[in-house]
Amino acid sequence: MESLTEEAVKYYLMNKVGPRQRLLSKIVEEVQEIIYRLTKEISYRDIRFQPVSKSCYHNENIKVLAPTQFVITVPIKGLLGYRKSQTRRWRYYSMSGSKLFSPIRDPEEMYQWLEINQFLKTLRQWHEKDVTVDGDIMPAKVIEVFLKLVEDSVKACNLSNEVSILENFGSIIRLIVETSEFQVEIELIPVIEVLNRWCDKAQWPRCFSRWPSREKIHCVKSFGFNLMARSSYHWKLGFDRAEYMLMEGIDDDGGCRKICYQVLRQMKEDVWCPGNKPVITTQHLQTILFWTCEKYPRSKDWCVFRKAFLRLVRKLYKCVNQHFLKHFFIKETNMFQYSSKTELDAVAQKLVLFLKNPMLHQD
């Protein structure tokens, strides 16, 4: 255990953060090879789903929540020219298409309805009854079609030794992928990629915000957003490309934001919240970083590692202790809403001990 001296941080980056990144690069490479084969077969069977391409640098379809927990998005093809719906309709259906009588309610902040006529150009297959009900593209039906394709494609590609499908709970598809190091649990999500248009629900940037720069904001917004099929009726909003662009060049002013984030992530994985399915993921830590960058936008706030890092840890503690972390783009959404409060409290206790005696875990 070492204090937050410059020498200790350099040693930690070299002996903990560096090896972690090399290991993850290897795991991602293995996983994307398997997922490429699988989704290529899926696309061959159903043109509505695109293969997840391989990349040597950054794969925008793969998000590492933890070393053993990935989210992989599968791009949907044939829905172009997205536009906001002008009608307000609240409709709930069974999978067979019969109407369900349920209380009229608006989707939660991160969710929305999706009608086929919200797209200017569509493949005729998206008008089929296997994915639509009364003009709505129903995520549960899309997932039902996609899951059958996954099952058939695993067999067709002889991937049964590398890929196993976990029991499906609700509208989420989870796989276990065997790698040379360990098993990785993957959530596979069909997504509609909406490019060159910002999400109407994302009221960002906020008034008087000084981070990031106007040029950066314009760039981030140009990458648009995703609509993800991971619930029964409503499509969930996603901002993976925008978040990636916020991280790119985050230290162009010579600051230490990314190093602070890397050390925070490593301490989270090794000490504060280890395990295969941690209650705190990289998504949460990245959001903590973004909020802290917005509150402390000046370059001089990110010159001294110890001060900047402890600021991040205190922000993390506050959010974990209160069971409340606002989504960076949809701030009405609490990212801890469905997290285990018992697990969050356990993390909060560890953060208290660290803040009393800040030491990097070197074992």
pLDDT of residue 106: 65
Structural domain span for residue 24: 13-248
DSSP for 230-254, written as a single string? -SSSSEEEE-HHHHHHHHTTTTTTS
pLDDT < 50 stretches in the chain = none
CA 32 to chain centre: 16
Pairs from 289-294 (Cβ < 8 Å, separation ≥ 24): 289/257, 289/260, 289/261, 289/264, 290/243, 290/246, 290/328, 291/315, 291/326, 291/328, 293/211, 293/212, 293/250, 293/257, 294/206, 294/209, 294/210, 294/211
In a domain, 142, yes or no: yes
Of the candidates 204, 254, 211, 251, the one whose C-alpha atom is nearest the C-alpha of residue 225 is: 204
In a domain, 61, yes or no: yes
Looking at residue 202, its amino acid is A
Strand partners, 178: 183
pLDDT of residue 88: 60
In a domain, 338, yes or no: yes
Q: Do 272 and 348 fall within a single domain?
A: yes
pTM for the model? 0.94
Q: Do 268 and 301 fall within a single domain?
A: yes
Strand partners, 350: none
User: In the chain, how many domains are there?
Assistant: 2
Residues 6+ apart with CB under 8 A from 234: 107, 108, 111, 112, 113, 114, 139
Domain of 263, CATH number, reads 1.10.1410.40
In a domain, 5, yes or no: no
Q: Do 147 and 71 fall within a single domain?
A: yes
Q: Cα separation of 45 and 31, whole Å? A: 21
Helix (H) or strand (E) holding 44, with range, is helix 18-45
In a domain, 4, yes or no: no
Task: For the chain, report the end-to-end CA distance as a whole number of angstroms.
Answer: 7
